[in-house]
Structure 1
Amino acid sequence: MGERITSPCVGLCSTTLGDRVCRGCQRVDSEIRDWPALSGEQRRRRMAELDRLRAEVAGRFLVVMDPASLEAQLRRHRIRFRNEQPPLSRAVELLRVGRGRIRDLSRYGLAGRDGEDVATLHERITADLRVAAERRQALLPDLLDLPTLDP
């Protein structure tokens, strides 16, 4: 039996709208298409790279004060995360899902760097993530040793 195929997909694929880089998971359209053909190790490397990207961007706006509280809230609200996923990467998904409902970030083990409300933080993180993901796309073949499956 084959290895379970994990994916960074969050069910918000903007590549179907013509974006080259998905606004939801920050993967390039060809990376999304080729995902099932990648080995487990290739997928793990890509997941780690995407986690680093999210953590780097989120770290400009957020501080994780209590990783255990963040994890507890993710579980409570049934927001999907992976054990190896860094807390700041997890926080990106939390804000995506809860941006309209979260009032007090400290209850989630987080603090904003600039005192902005959650919706504004989410907008700023999302905008910077898109720019960073587009830069990543330009480096993808070299950075991640992405196989070319096109003829």
Structure 2
Amino acid sequence: MCARIASPCVGLCSTTLGDPVCRGCQRTDDEIVVWMALSAEQRDLRIAQLDTLRERVAARFLKVTDEARLEAQLRQHRIRFRPEQPPLSRAVELLRVGRDRIRELHRYGLAPQESAVGLSPADLHARLNEQLLVEANERRCADQVSIPHR
């Protein structure tokens, strides 16, 4: 039996539309192309880096007040997450999927940070996603500069 290939893909790949960074998973187009050729350790490292990015950005807008409630809501709504995935990274997935249905963040074990008070979940997701893309693009540009040209 083959081991399952770990992937941060959420089935919303915008690189097929020409984006250099996927709006769904924040991987670069180059990373997506070579993903299957990476070792399990390389994939795990990149997934951890993506979780760190999501945690850092999400912490500007959200805080987790009840991890158990957040996990219960993810399970109830059949939103995919990994056991080792940090709560704020899980919250990004929750907002991506439920941003138009969520009315009260506290029912999902979340609370807005001061900068996000008064934002609807849809607006919160839009701002969060915008910042994720900015930082993912900055990383992509930094990686291109650090790779020597042949």
- TM-score w.r.t. structure 1 length? 0.90
Q: Which residue of the partner structure matches residue 58 of structure 1?
A: 58
Q: For residue 137 of structure 1, what is the aligned residue in structure 2?
A: 140
Equivalent residue number for residue 106 of structure 1: 106
Residue in 1 that maps onto 2:131: 128
* Aligned mates of 2:94, 2:32 — CA distance in 1: 22
> What corresponds to 2:88 in structure 1?
88
Where structure 1 has 5 or more consecutive residues not aligned to the other structure, the ranges are 147-151
Aligned residues: 144
Deviating 4+ runs (over 6 angstroms): none
Counterpart secondary structure, 1:33: helix
| Alignment-mate amino acid for residue 34 of structure 1 | V
**Alignment RMSD (CA, Å):** 1.7
Any idea what the Cα deviations from partners look like across 1:111-139, whole Å, max 9, x if unmatched? Answer: 01132211110010010001011012123
Match for residue 149 of structure 1?
none
Structure 1 residue 21: Cα displacement: 0.5
Using the size of structure 2 for normalisation, the TM-score is: 0.91
Query: Which residue identity does 2:131 align to in structure 1?
Result: D
Measured at CA, do residues 107 and 135 of structure 1 come closer, stay the same or move farther in structure 2, by a change above 3 Å?
Answer: same
Deviations 1:51-82 (A, max 9, x none): 00011001000000011110010000000000
Three-state SS of the structure 2 residue aligned to 1:111 is strand
* Partner of residue 72, structure 1: 72
- Aligned partners of 1:142, 1:48: CA distance in 2, in Å? 22
**Identity percentage of aligned residues:** 64
Superposition deviation, residue 13 in structure 1: 0.5
